[in-house]
Each structure stands twice: as C-alpha cells, then as structure tokens.
Amino acid sequence: MICPFCLSGVERQQTVCPFCGASLENKNPSGTLPLGTVLDGRYTIGSYLSIDGEGVTYKAVDNVARMFVVIKEYRPVTLCDDGGDVLTVGPKKGSEVLFKTTRMDFAELYRTLQGLQRQPGLVQVRDVLEQNGTVYGVMEYMDGITLADYLAKRSAPLSPQETLNLLRPVLEAVSLLHGHGLIHQGICPQNIRITSRGEARLGGFATSGLRAEGGELKHQLYDGYSAPEQYSAAEFSGRFTDVYGIAAVIYRMVTGVQPAPAGERRISDSLRPAHVVQPGVPAEFSAVLQAAMRLDASGRLQTVAELLGGLSDPEQARELARSQPKDAASGNSIPKQYWIIGGTVAAGVILALILLVVIFGGSGKPSSSSAAPSSSSASSQVTEGVPNFVGKKYTDVTRNSQYTNLYDFSVTQEYSDTVEEGYIISQDPEAGETPASSDNTIHLVVSKGKEEFTVPNVIGYTLDGAKSALNQAGIQNISVEIVENDGSQPVNCVVETVPAENGKVTSDESVIVRVAGEAPQPTATPEPGSEPQDPQA
C-alpha cells in the first residue's frame, strides 16, 4: 500500500511508515472508514477530516496518480444504518425512500461538478464512485489554510481592492455554478481555502438538504454567512442566497467584524454599514454590500454579476444605491414603533372586515346562520381538489411547505421500468379530487427505479437448466453464445455468464450465457513401429 502521509510504498502489515515515521494504525472514529481502506482499487483512505449531516470527509491517496486527494462519503447520520458493517452504507428502516433520493442528489451534484471546466476559484472534483451502497466524491487536495484562519491571523482588515483581488476567482466560480443550475448555499470563510500561492478556492460542496433547516438531513449552517431563507423550511434558496453569503464574507474581510446571524437580524437588525464600522471603506462599496445582504430575498441583489459589478465600479455602485429603498441602502431598518403602529392599524382594519362578513354573511344582508359556524369552516379538511403530484420528485413535494402544511403523505414504493427512481408514479386521491379522510392524507406511490435481479451461479448447468434457473431468479432476457471447447468442458454446459454470479441486471438488460461447444474429435496417432496405411489400398 501507499503511505497516506508521505506517499511512500509500504508493506500492508507495517504499523509504522519506515520513511516518515507516521503511525499506520487506524485512529479514525467509530462509524467511519478505517485507515487503509481501498476504494475502487485505486483510492486508499487516510485520516478522517470532518463529519456533517450529509457524510464523512477523509484525506486519501490516489494510488494511480500517486497524489493526495480528499474524499467525501455519502453517509447521512439521520438516514443510514450500517448494521455493524462500516464499509457498507444502507438506510434505516422507514428511511429507504429519502436515503435513495438524497443519495441520488449527492451523486448528481458531484457528477455535475466533475463535468465543469476547471476554474481557478473552485476546488476540482476529480472522480465520483458508486459502491458499498453509497457514493464517494473525490476532490483535489488543497494545501494552505482556510480563509477563516487567514483572517484570524491578520492584525487589520483587508482593503476593498485587496479583497476583490483575492475573491474575484471565487465570485466567477460561483457564477459558473449558477449557470449550471447549482446553488452553493455554504459560502463562508470556513469553506474558502487560501493556498500556499495566495489563491482562493471555494469548496464545501453539499446538497440542499444540508444547507436548510427543517430538511431530512441534520443541517449545517454558518451563522453570519447563511442567508435568512436558509433558517426557514417555508422559504426557498436561490442565486440570491449565494449573493448574501459572498457579501457577508466580503463584509468580514473589509471590516474585521463577523456579521450578526440572520435570525438575530430578523428580530433586531444590528448590521451596521461597512463604511461606518471601517471608515476606509467607500460609502458606495458599503451600500452595495447592504443591498446584497437585505433580509428580504426579493429585494436583495439577485446575481453575482450585479454584486461584482457594483463592488468593482463606483458608478454601478451609485446606481444600485439609488435603486434601493432608503432604509435598505442605509442599512437601517424601519423604526420599531412605526411597524407596531402600522401592524395595529392593519389588524384593526382586518378585524373590522371580518366582523362585517360575519354580520352580513358577505352579501350585504344579515345572515340568519351567522351565530353558528358552518361545518366547512369548523373543519380543517381540504375541500379543493388536490394538486397533481404524479411525475414530481418525492423529495421536492415533501420539502415544499405549501404541500406539507395542507396534506399528510403516506408512501408505498414500487419498481417501475418507466418512472425514474425517487419520482411519483401515482397518487390517491387523484389530481382534482378531495381527500376522503379528515386528516387530508394523500397516498403516493414512489418509484424504486427498475427492479434489479441477481444473477445466480449456473456454471456447469446445461443450457436448459441455466435458463430455468435464470427465469426463476426473475431474469427473462437471455443471450446465448457458443464458445470453443478444448475438450476440458462438458458439451452444451455453461462455462461463463456476463454479468457473473451475484451481478445485477434490470428487466430490459440481458444476461449472456456462454456455453461450451462441441469438443474437437481426437486425431488417431499411429502406434510405434506401425506403418501408415495407404488410403488407396
């Protein structure tokens, strides 16, 4: 094996590397892959680096390229159960659907990242592996320190120009992500690395489930840098979420002060403009940061291009400042006494309207039944037709508070040759109908994808016997190939299958059965001393 600390070749049974002196004994925490585990015959797991609600990150070695890499393993603590086998990752009972769909999200994220053109401001994803019931994202190993450590070591904030020079590649990388439909949602000093060459690289990739409260994963947010919408299950993230995160990082770099957490800001917004905290920051630059860190996502700067343009060009900054409401541009929230008064007046108007409706029944005439509530108003049952969920992704439906606030969902899983895994095949009641039960339950049938069948061991079987055994295993598509027989194999018996024993195939895939053909006829050899006979005699 290769030493995961110095890349020297060592014997597997050695407990100490003879070259660097590092211990080769496993010290990784329980429930993580042991040091020395080999993945895909190529990557050797080294030391454990970190764990979050989505999985475990390791420093590892690419044995082929003979270089360090970082591997993130999909192993969500809330959904998985290794059953005592640390190598194999499987779902907890009752979490099968969520485990599979979030695993698909993880694989899709890392495959998309792997396909991106190399960007100076982005940690490169080099490979994606699917084995052991899970997915592994293989990334380049970055030397250096995190931006958080870099800032902690400085005695003074960076200037706006120094900040832009350092972070411009990161902003351009985030724009690239957005162009491919990806939202990072974890931009913060901890996830930006400063290399030994002084270059900034953004890492910390994760699926949406990790970057929002109320999801199926144990969330990981970054106070001061995560946007307000990430703390609410009823709100959605978008490109504007990353704009908030980038602006918060820049605010920290130019002021030396970490922004207040978004939750605290919603109660009492204490975020002071950057030029007030640090007088060396231009007012226009400060105004752009305020516009990018608005609590209301709809009023926030929406794209990285807008943010970068405003921070780089004072004229664009002034234009953005003019286009923002005065309270947003200055960073001051509306005084509390005004919104209390406004809320009181609004509440009074609404109460008056409700009383009019109750008294006059909404028709302008006194209602004879106004004293008794109607059965429909007393019940919480949904009376309108339910939406059409067929064809939608199950996790998209169950993450949407507009649905979960109205309905309870029960789920059955079925295999499907036509509907992709994790998507809804059917629903009861159907779209447009009303739920039959008072608890507004909708039963969903969710696809498990194409059913996979395990290839049994049929080596040595006759062709008919092999076909019968494969049919019993659920495999109907069988392709037969006759192979040469050197005489060592029984005629018309199976010598090989593709896939081999325990391999998996779906209903539309075939198993190749290779059968030994006729054995060659033995050639007569003359006995010693005998003369060959003349065929014409």
Q: What is the DSSP string of 121-141?
A: TBPPEEEEEEETTEEEEEEE-
For residue 121, the domain's CATH number is 3.30.200.20
In a domain, 378, yes or no: no
* pLDDT tier, 273 (very low <50, low <70, confident <90, very high otherwise): very high
What is the model's pLDDT at position 318? Answer: 75
Contacts of 333 (CB under 8 A, 6+ apart): 268, 269, 327
212 and 243, same domain (yes or no): yes
pLDDT score, position 166: 94
Please tell me the distance from the alpha carbon of residue 285 to that of residue 274, in angstroms, as a whole number. Answer: 8
- Considering the domain architecture, whether residues 73 and 99 belong to the same structural domain is answered as yes
pLDDT, residue 243, reads 95
The distance in angstroms from the start CA to the end CA of the chain is 71
Between 267 and 317, name the one with better pLDDT.
267
**Of the candidates 285, 284, 306, 187, which has an alpha carbon nearest to the alpha carbon of residue 242?**
187
Instruction: Dig out the tokens for 199 from the structure.
Output: 């270059």
Tell me the two tokens of residue 289: 């940061």
Whether pLDDT at 366 is above 50: no
Give the model's pLDDT for residue 525.
Answer: 59
In a domain, 13, yes or no: yes
Average pLDDT over residues 166-170: 94
Task: Name the 3-class secondary structure at 345.
Answer: helix
Q: Does 17 lie in the same domain as 135? A: yes
Q: How far is it, in rounded angstroms, from Cα 83 to Cα 71?
A: 22
- In the predicted structure, residue 336 carries a pLDDT above the cut 60: no
Same domain, 362 and 506: no
Per-residue pLDDT tens for 436-460?
A: 767 788 989 998 888 889 899 999 8
CA-CA-CA-CA torsion sign (499, 503, 506, 507): positive
Q: Is the dihedral of CA 238, 244, 245, 246 positive or negative?
A: positive
**What number of other Cβ atoms are within 10 A of residue 435's Cβ?**
20
Q: What share of the chain in percent tops pLDDT 70? A: 84
Note the pLDDT of residue 324: 60
User: Length of the chain in residues, anyone?
Assistant: 537
Q: Within this chain, do residues 175 and 232 fall inside the same structural domain, yes or no?
A: yes
Q: Which of 249-253, 254-258, 375-379 has the lowest mean pLDDT?
A: 375-379
With a cut of 90, say whether residue 232 has pLDDT above it. no
Residue 111 lies in a domain: yes
pLDDT in the model for residue 367: 36
Phi, psi (5° rounding) for residue 183?
A: -115, 125
Tell me the average pLDDT of the chain.
83
Q: Which amino acid appears at position 467 of this protein?
A: K
**Residue 226 within a domain:** yes
pLDDT greater at residue 343 or residue 119: 119
My answer on whether 168 and 29 are in the same domain is: no
pLDDT computed for residue 357 by the predictor: 44
DSSP symbols for 54-89:
SEEEEEEEETTTTEEEEEEEE--TTTB--TT-SSS-
Instruction: Please provide residue 147's backbone torsions phi and psi, each rounded to the nearest 5 degrees.
Output: -60, -35
Any idea which residue has 């992709």 for tokens?
420
What does the pLDDT read at residue 360? 45
pLDDT of residue 384: 67
The answer to whether residue 240 scores a pLDDT higher than 70 is: yes
What per-residue confidence (pLDDT) applies to 323? 64
More confident residue, 10 or 124: 124
pLDDT band at 370 (very low <50, low <70, confident <90, very high): very low
DSSP, res 23: B
Does 215 share its domain with 347? no
Return the number of other C-beta atoms located less than 10 Å from residue 164's C-beta: 18
Domain shared by 310 and 218, yes or no: yes
pLDDT of residue 200: 94
Give yes or no for residue 372 having a pLDDT over 50. Answer: no
Rounded distance between C-alpha atoms, residue 360 and residue 525, angstroms: 116
CB atoms within 10 A of CB 504: 11
Tens digit of pLDDT for each residue in 15-37? 898 888 888 888 898 889 999 99
The CA-atom distances, in angstroms, between 347 and each of 350, 370, 377 are 5, 22, 21
- Is the Cβ–Cβ distance between 455 and 500 less than 8 Å? yes
257 falls within a domain:
yes
Confidence of residue 327 (pLDDT cuts 50, 70, 90): very low
Tell me the pairing of strands 478-483 and 494-498.
unpaired
User: How much is the average pLDDT of 72-98?
Assistant: 86
Average pLDDT (91-118) is: 91
Supply the pLDDT for residue 24: 87
In a domain, 397, yes or no: yes
pLDDT in tens, 279-293: 999 988 999 999 999
Q: How far is CA 478 from the centre of its chain?
A: 37
- Is the per-residue pLDDT at 340 higher than 70? no
| Count of beta carbons in the 10 Å neighbourhood of residue 405 | 9
Burial of residue 390 (CB within 10 Å: 0-12, 13-18, 19+) is: middle
**Residue 133 counted as domain residue:** yes
| High-pLDDT (> 90) share of the chain, % | 43
The predicted-structure confidence for 454-508, as pLDDT tens digits, reads as follows 899 999 899 998 999 999 899 999 999 998 888 788 888 999 999 988 888 888 8
Residues 17 and 134 in one domain: yes
193: pLDDT strictly greater than 90: yes
Nearest to 125 by CA among 139, 141, 111: 139
For the cut 70, the answer to whether the pLDDT of residue 426 exceeds it is: yes
Q: What is the pLDDT of residue 400?
A: 79
Residue 350 lies in a domain: yes
Which DSSP state fits 51? Answer: E
| pLDDT at residue 214, rounded to an integer | 80
Number of domains the chain contains: 5
Which of 7-16, 182-191, 322-331, 401-410 is modeled with the greatest confidence? 182-191
Question: Which among 141, 173, 198 is the end of a domain?
Answer: 141
| pLDDT reported for residue 350 | 47
Structure-block tokens of residue 179: 């162009």
Inter-axis angle of helices 283-292 and 314-323, nearest 10: 50
437 and 329 within one domain: no
Indicate the residue among 120, 141, 162 that finishes a domain. Answer: 141
- In this structure, what token pair is assigned to residue 423? 């998507």
Over residues 104-110, the mean pLDDT reads 94
Assess whether 198 and 315 both reside in one domain: yes
Q: Please indicate, yes or no, whether residues 304 and 179 belong to a single structural domain of this protein.
A: yes
Query: Residue 411's pLDDT is what?
Result: 83
Span 66-76, mean pLDDT?
A: 95
Domain's final residue, options 447, 463, 484? 447
CATH of the domain at 501: 3.30.10.20
For 417, the domain range is 386-447
Q: Domain holding 189: CATH number?
A: 1.10.510.10
Per-residue pLDDT, 245: 96
Strand order in the sheet with 494-498: 478-483, 511-516, 494-498
Q: Which residue has the higher pLDDT, 522 or 291?
A: 291
